[in-house]
Homo-oligomer: A and B are copies of this chain.
Protein backbone atom coordinates (compact mmCIF):
# COMPACT_ATOMS: atom_id res chain seq x y z
CA UNK A 1 0.00 0.00 0.00
CA UNK A 2 1.38 3.36 -1.00
CA UNK A 3 1.76 5.78 1.88
CA UNK A 4 0.14 9.19 1.59
CA UNK A 5 2.54 12.12 1.88
CA UNK A 6 2.07 14.56 4.76
CA UNK A 7 2.20 18.05 3.27
CA UNK A 8 3.70 20.54 5.72
CA UNK A 9 5.25 24.00 5.86
CA UNK A 10 7.84 25.50 8.19
CA UNK A 11 6.68 28.47 10.27
CA UNK A 12 9.56 30.62 11.53
CA UNK A 13 9.32 33.42 14.09
CA UNK A 14 12.44 35.58 14.25
CA UNK A 15 12.66 37.63 17.43
CA UNK A 16 15.45 39.84 18.73
CA UNK A 17 16.69 37.14 21.10
CA UNK A 18 15.35 33.81 19.85
CA UNK A 19 14.16 32.27 16.62
CA UNK A 20 11.36 29.73 17.00
CA UNK A 21 10.12 27.38 14.31
CA UNK A 22 7.73 24.53 13.77
CA UNK A 23 6.62 22.04 11.14
CA UNK A 24 2.92 22.71 10.61
CA UNK A 25 0.24 21.10 8.45
CA UNK A 26 -2.65 22.84 6.77
CA UNK A 27 -4.92 22.39 9.78
CA UNK A 28 -2.41 23.88 12.21
CA UNK A 29 -1.11 20.64 13.66
CA UNK A 30 2.48 21.17 14.79
CA UNK A 31 4.54 18.03 14.08
CA UNK A 32 7.73 19.28 15.68
CA UNK A 33 9.18 22.55 16.90
CA UNK A 34 12.46 24.03 18.05
CA UNK A 35 14.41 27.23 18.52
CA UNK A 36 17.87 28.73 18.09
CA UNK A 37 19.42 31.97 19.26
CA UNK A 38 18.93 34.96 16.95
CA UNK A 39 22.08 36.76 17.98
CA UNK A 40 24.93 34.22 17.92
CA UNK A 41 25.94 35.05 14.37
CA UNK A 42 26.85 38.49 13.16
CA UNK A 43 26.80 37.15 9.58
CA UNK A 44 23.23 36.56 8.41
CA UNK A 45 24.38 33.65 6.21
CA UNK A 46 25.88 31.74 9.13
CA UNK A 47 22.68 32.31 11.08
CA UNK A 48 20.56 31.07 8.18
CA UNK A 49 22.80 28.02 7.72
CA UNK A 50 22.18 27.09 11.35
CA UNK A 51 18.45 27.79 10.97
CA UNK A 52 18.26 25.70 7.78
CA UNK A 53 20.07 22.78 9.43
CA UNK A 54 17.68 22.93 12.41
CA UNK A 55 14.59 23.04 10.18
CA UNK A 56 15.91 20.07 8.12
CA UNK A 57 16.47 18.13 11.31
CA UNK A 58 12.89 18.85 12.42
CA UNK A 59 11.57 17.72 9.04
CA UNK A 60 13.42 14.41 9.41
CA UNK A 61 12.02 14.04 12.93
CA UNK A 62 8.53 14.58 11.52
CA UNK A 63 8.82 11.42 9.43
CA UNK A 64 10.09 10.28 6.01
CA UNK A 65 6.67 10.87 4.48
CA UNK A 66 6.64 14.65 5.12
CA UNK A 67 6.86 16.97 2.14
CA UNK A 68 7.87 20.61 2.68
CA UNK A 69 5.55 22.83 0.63
CA UNK A 70 6.80 26.26 1.70
CA UNK A 71 8.26 28.43 4.43
CA UNK A 72 6.59 31.36 6.18
CA UNK A 73 8.50 33.83 8.32
CA UNK A 74 7.39 36.44 10.82
CA UNK A 75 10.09 38.96 11.71
CA UNK A 76 10.30 42.57 12.89
CA UNK A 77 10.31 45.08 9.99
CA UNK A 78 9.81 42.25 7.49
CA UNK A 79 8.27 43.51 4.26
CA UNK A 80 5.85 41.15 2.52
CA UNK A 81 6.32 42.83 -0.86
CA UNK A 82 10.11 43.09 -0.98
CA UNK A 83 10.79 39.87 0.93
CA UNK A 84 13.36 41.81 2.94
CA UNK A 85 13.88 42.75 6.56
CA UNK A 86 14.31 46.50 6.30
CA UNK A 87 16.39 48.28 8.92
CA UNK A 88 15.15 46.40 11.98
CA UNK A 89 16.42 48.21 15.10
CA UNK A 90 15.92 45.11 17.29
CA UNK A 91 17.82 42.60 15.14
CA UNK A 92 21.53 42.03 14.89
CA UNK A 93 21.72 42.44 11.10
CA UNK A 94 21.84 45.98 9.74
CA UNK A 95 20.29 47.47 6.63
CA UNK A 96 18.28 45.55 4.04
CA UNK A 97 18.36 41.77 4.46
CA UNK A 98 16.83 39.95 1.43
CA UNK A 99 15.56 37.26 3.78
CA UNK A 100 13.03 35.52 1.51
CA UNK A 101 15.54 34.91 -1.28
CA UNK A 102 18.28 33.88 1.17
CA UNK A 103 15.95 31.24 2.64
CA UNK A 104 14.62 30.18 -0.75
CA UNK A 105 18.16 29.52 -1.99
CA UNK A 106 18.52 27.03 0.87
CA UNK A 107 15.23 25.14 0.40
CA UNK A 108 13.89 25.80 -3.10
CA UNK A 109 10.25 26.12 -1.95
CA UNK A 110 8.00 29.23 -1.88
CA UNK A 111 8.93 31.61 0.96
CA UNK A 112 6.80 34.49 2.29
CA UNK A 113 7.73 36.90 5.07
CA UNK A 114 5.81 39.53 7.00
CA UNK A 115 6.05 41.32 10.31
CA UNK A 116 5.04 39.62 13.56
CA UNK A 117 1.67 41.37 13.95
CA UNK A 118 0.61 40.54 10.38
CA UNK A 119 1.71 36.94 10.99
CA UNK A 120 -0.45 36.90 14.13
CA UNK A 121 -3.42 38.04 12.01
CA UNK A 122 -2.76 35.22 9.49
CA UNK A 123 -2.61 32.74 12.38
CA UNK A 124 -5.92 34.00 13.77
CA UNK A 125 -7.52 33.70 10.32
CA UNK A 126 -6.18 30.22 9.54
CA UNK A 127 -6.27 28.57 12.97
CA UNK A 128 -7.86 30.90 15.54
CA UNK A 129 -10.96 32.94 16.23
CA UNK A 130 -11.12 34.66 12.83
CA UNK A 131 -11.60 31.52 10.71
CA UNK A 132 -14.90 32.72 9.29
CA UNK A 133 -14.02 36.41 9.16
CA UNK A 134 -13.03 38.61 6.22
CA UNK A 135 -12.61 41.87 8.15
CA UNK A 136 -10.86 41.85 11.51
CA UNK A 137 -7.86 43.21 13.37
CA UNK A 138 -5.29 41.56 15.64
CA UNK A 139 -3.50 43.79 18.12
CA UNK A 140 -0.37 42.46 19.79
CA UNK A 141 0.32 44.06 23.15
CA UNK A 142 3.92 43.26 24.00
CA UNK A 143 6.89 45.57 24.47
CA UNK A 144 5.18 47.70 21.82
CA UNK A 145 1.79 47.63 20.11
CA UNK A 146 1.62 45.86 16.76
CA UNK A 147 -1.41 45.46 14.52
CA UNK A 148 -2.36 43.12 11.71
CA UNK A 149 -5.37 44.43 9.80
CA UNK A 150 -7.42 42.22 7.49
CA UNK A 151 -9.77 43.73 4.89
CA UNK A 152 -11.75 41.60 2.43
CA UNK A 153 -9.83 38.51 3.56
CA UNK A 154 -6.36 39.98 2.91
CA UNK A 155 -3.79 41.66 5.15
CA UNK A 156 -3.51 45.42 4.60
CA UNK A 157 0.10 45.91 3.50
CA UNK A 158 -0.42 49.27 1.84
CA UNK A 159 1.56 50.72 -1.01
CA UNK A 160 5.01 49.84 0.37
CA UNK A 161 4.31 46.90 2.69
CA UNK A 162 4.45 48.95 5.90
CA UNK A 163 0.75 49.57 6.63
CA UNK A 164 -0.83 48.61 9.95
CA UNK A 165 1.22 50.74 12.34
CA UNK A 166 -1.57 51.34 14.85
CA UNK A 167 1.03 51.56 17.62
CA UNK A 168 2.29 54.79 16.08
CA UNK A 169 -0.99 56.64 15.76
CA UNK A 170 -0.83 59.82 17.83
CA UNK A 171 -3.05 59.89 20.91
CA UNK A 172 -1.64 62.81 22.91
CA UNK A 173 -0.09 65.90 21.41
CA UNK A 174 3.35 66.35 22.94
CA UNK A 175 2.78 63.09 24.90
CA UNK A 176 5.19 60.39 26.05
CA UNK A 177 8.45 59.94 24.18
CA UNK A 178 8.36 57.00 21.78
CA UNK A 179 11.15 54.77 20.51
CA UNK A 180 10.27 55.97 16.99
CA UNK A 181 11.57 59.45 17.83
CA UNK A 182 8.16 61.11 18.08
CA UNK A 183 5.86 61.80 21.02
CA UNK A 184 2.41 60.58 22.10
CA UNK A 185 2.23 57.34 20.06
CA UNK A 186 -0.46 54.87 21.17
CA UNK A 187 2.12 52.22 22.10
CA UNK A 188 3.70 54.50 24.69
CA UNK A 189 0.42 54.13 26.63
CA UNK A 190 -1.05 50.83 25.48
CA UNK A 191 1.53 48.00 25.65
CA UNK A 192 3.36 46.15 28.42
CA UNK A 193 5.81 49.05 28.54
CA UNK A 194 3.00 51.61 28.34
CA UNK A 195 1.19 50.30 31.40
CA UNK A 196 4.47 50.28 33.36
CA UNK A 197 4.91 53.96 32.52
CA UNK A 198 1.32 54.58 33.62
CA UNK A 199 1.96 52.77 36.92
CA UNK A 200 4.97 54.97 37.59
CA UNK A 201 3.02 58.10 36.72
CA UNK A 202 0.24 57.03 39.10
CA UNK A 203 2.73 56.18 41.87
CA UNK A 204 4.16 59.67 41.47
CA UNK A 205 0.82 61.44 41.39
CA UNK A 206 -1.23 59.51 43.94
CA UNK A 207 -0.75 58.60 47.59
CA UNK A 208 -2.44 55.18 47.89
CA UNK A 209 -0.33 52.38 49.25
CA UNK A 210 0.55 49.85 46.56
CA UNK A 211 2.58 46.70 46.36
CA UNK A 212 3.97 48.14 43.13
CA UNK A 213 5.87 50.79 45.12
CA UNK A 214 8.44 48.11 46.01
CA UNK A 215 9.19 47.05 42.42
CA UNK A 216 11.84 48.86 40.34
CA UNK A 217 10.75 49.96 36.85
CA UNK A 218 13.06 47.44 35.17
CA UNK A 219 11.46 44.54 37.05
CA UNK A 220 7.85 45.62 36.63
CA UNK A 221 5.85 43.61 34.07
CA UNK A 222 2.30 43.38 32.74
CA UNK A 223 2.11 40.11 34.69
CA UNK A 224 2.90 41.55 38.11
CA UNK A 225 0.69 44.59 37.52
CA UNK A 226 -2.10 42.16 36.60
CA UNK A 227 -1.49 40.04 39.71
CA UNK A 228 -1.53 43.13 41.90
CA UNK A 229 -4.85 44.12 40.28
CA UNK A 230 -6.22 40.64 41.06
CA UNK A 231 -5.41 41.31 44.71
CA UNK A 232 -7.27 44.64 44.56
CA UNK A 233 -4.22 46.93 44.42
CA UNK A 234 -5.68 50.38 43.72
CA UNK A 235 -2.77 51.67 41.62
CA UNK A 236 -2.73 48.52 39.48
CA UNK A 237 -6.51 48.69 38.96
CA UNK A 238 -6.30 52.37 38.05
CA UNK A 239 -3.42 51.67 35.62
CA UNK A 240 -5.54 49.12 33.76
CA UNK A 241 -8.48 51.50 33.67
CA UNK A 242 -6.33 54.29 32.19
CA UNK A 243 -4.77 51.88 29.66
CA UNK A 244 -8.10 50.33 28.67
CA UNK A 245 -9.66 53.76 28.28
CA UNK A 246 -6.97 54.97 25.86
CA UNK A 247 -7.15 51.66 23.96
CA UNK A 248 -10.96 51.75 23.76
CA UNK A 249 -11.01 55.33 22.56
CA UNK A 250 -8.45 54.55 19.84
CA UNK A 251 -10.38 51.46 18.78
CA UNK A 252 -13.49 53.59 18.23
CA UNK A 253 -11.49 55.52 15.60
CA UNK A 254 -10.14 52.30 14.11
CA UNK A 255 -13.69 50.95 13.79
CA UNK A 256 -14.81 54.14 12.00
CA UNK A 257 -12.13 53.50 9.37
CA UNK A 258 -12.23 49.69 9.01
CA UNK A 259 -15.57 48.54 10.45
CA UNK A 260 -14.13 45.13 11.46
CA UNK A 261 -16.21 42.20 12.66
CA UNK A 262 -13.92 41.72 15.64
CA UNK A 263 -10.72 43.00 17.23
CA UNK A 264 -8.49 40.36 18.81
CA UNK A 265 -6.03 41.23 21.55
CA UNK A 266 -2.86 39.21 21.91
CA UNK A 267 0.24 39.28 24.12
CA UNK A 268 1.22 39.86 27.74
CA UNK A 269 -1.22 42.67 28.42
CA UNK A 270 -4.12 40.73 26.86
CA UNK A 271 -3.49 37.93 29.39
CA UNK A 272 -4.79 40.29 32.10
CA UNK A 273 -8.35 39.42 30.98
CA UNK A 274 -11.15 41.61 32.29
CA UNK A 275 -8.73 44.13 33.74
CA UNK A 276 -7.99 45.27 30.18
CA UNK A 277 -10.99 43.98 28.21
CA UNK A 278 -13.65 45.61 30.39
CA UNK A 279 -12.47 49.24 30.13
CA UNK A 280 -11.43 48.73 26.48
CA UNK A 281 -14.95 47.53 25.57
CA UNK A 282 -16.66 50.20 27.65
CA UNK A 283 -14.66 53.12 26.25
CA UNK A 284 -14.81 51.86 22.69
CA UNK A 285 -18.63 51.67 22.89
CA UNK A 286 -18.82 55.09 24.54
CA UNK A 287 -16.86 56.65 21.68
CA UNK A 288 -18.32 54.77 18.71
CA UNK A 289 -20.34 56.41 15.97
CA UNK A 290 -23.89 55.16 16.54
CA UNK A 291 -24.00 52.97 13.41
CA UNK A 292 -21.17 50.84 14.86
CA UNK A 293 -22.43 50.54 18.44
CA UNK A 294 -22.81 47.03 19.87
CA UNK A 295 -21.60 45.49 16.62
CA UNK A 296 -17.85 45.02 17.10
CA UNK A 297 -16.43 42.34 19.39
CA UNK A 298 -13.18 42.79 21.33
CA UNK A 299 -11.93 39.24 21.94
CA UNK A 300 -8.85 37.53 23.30
CA UNK A 301 -6.83 35.87 20.54
CA UNK A 302 -7.65 32.17 20.41
CA UNK A 303 -3.96 31.49 19.92
CA UNK A 304 -3.05 33.37 23.08
CA UNK A 305 -1.55 30.36 24.82
CA UNK A 306 -0.02 28.76 21.74
CA UNK A 307 2.96 29.75 19.69
CA UNK A 308 0.92 32.16 17.63
CA UNK A 309 3.91 33.63 15.83
CA UNK A 310 5.03 30.25 14.46
CA UNK A 311 1.44 29.31 13.56
CA UNK A 312 0.94 32.70 11.95
CA UNK A 313 4.08 32.37 9.85
CA UNK A 314 2.88 28.90 8.81
CA UNK A 315 -0.58 30.31 8.04
CA UNK A 316 0.96 33.04 5.88
CA UNK A 317 2.62 30.57 3.53
CA UNK A 318 -0.29 28.10 3.59
CA UNK A 319 -2.57 30.86 2.39
CA UNK A 320 -0.15 31.65 -0.48
CA UNK A 321 -0.03 27.98 -1.46
CA UNK A 322 -3.79 27.47 -1.23
CA UNK A 323 -4.78 30.68 -3.07
Contacts and interface: CB of A to CB of B under 8 A. Distances in A.
Given A149-B257, A156-B151, A287 B170 contact: yes
A163 B257 contact: yes
Nearest to A260: B159
Nearest to A295: B160
A289 B257 contact: no
Interface in A116-170: 133-136, 149, 151-152, 154, 156-166, 168-170
A157 B134 CA distance: 11
A136 B170 CA distance: 21
A109 interface: no
Given A152-B154, A154-B152, A160-B295, A256 B169 contact: yes
A150 B287 CA distance: 25
Contacts of A291: 86, 160, 162
A252 B291 CA distance: 25
Contacts of A217: none
A292 B159 CA distance: 10
A101 to B, nearest CB: 21
A216 interface: no
Nearest to A155: B152
A158 B182 contact: no
Contact of A258 (B134, B163, B256, B261): B163
A289 B166 CA distance: 11
Nearest to A156: B151
Interface in A258-310: 258-261, 287, 289-292, 295-296
Contact of A158 (B154, B161, B163, B260): B260
A55 to B, nearest CB: 30
A290 B259 contact: no
A257 B260 contact: no
A259 B289 contact: no
Contact of A135 (B86, B158, B164, B259): B158
A196 interface: no
A157 B257 contact: no
A168 B289 contact: yes
A296 B259 CA distance: 24
A165 B256 contact: yes
A249 interface: yes
A256 B162 CA distance: 8
A292 B181 CA distance: 13
B135 A159 contact: yes
A232 B242 CA distance: 46
Interface in A201-233: none
A89 to B, nearest CB: 11
Chain A to chain B: the 9 pairs with minimum beta-carbon distance, closest first: A158-B259, A163-B259, A165-B256, A159-B261, A135-B159, A169-B253, A168-B289, A168-B256, A162-B259
